[in-house]
Structure 1
């Protein structure tokens, strides 16, 4: 599929915003008194961060190639 540069930039902006929120969520959960209680939520958030970082990489690569 072909996406315009504007569409790719907006997707990247949205991903960056979500990444920021996820990273803050991880910090919050890890700082809780009984952080081990939130282990599954922390793991899920970390996996989502990694997935969004990969998506961002490919979006940046696509933008650079245009």
Structure 2
């Protein structure tokens, strides 16, 4: 991820955190076992991974 500035990473982290929050709020609207629920659950997991990678990169840069 070396091609992004620290500011860009911090901005992306803020946006990713916002998306996670919105997805988590919508999760109860879908019945467990439906395709919509599964899709949202997988999306949330992927976004948490993205957040972790961005956070690690920010920490690595100090």
**Into which bin does the TM-score normalised by the smaller protein fall?**
0.7 to 0.9
Q: 1:32 corresponds to which residue? A: none
Listed as ranges, the matches of 1:25-36 within 5 Å are 25-29=26-30, 35=31
- Give the TM-score normalised by structure 2: 0.87
Q: 1:52 corresponds to which residue? A: 47
Measure, in 1, the Cα distance between the counterparts of 2:3 and 2:38.
33
Q: 2:59 corresponds to which residue? A: 64
Once the two structures are TM-superposed, the CA of residue 27 in structure 1 deviates from its matched residue by 1.6
Measure, in 2, the Cα distance between the counterparts of 1:28 and 1:20.
14
- Give the TM-score normalised by structure 1: 0.82
Q: 3-state SS of the aligned residue for 1:3?
A: coil
How many residues matched?
60
Provide runs of 4+ in structure 1 moved above 6 Å.
none
For structure 1, list consecutive stretches of 5 or more residues without a partner in the other structure: 30-34
RMSD: 1.5
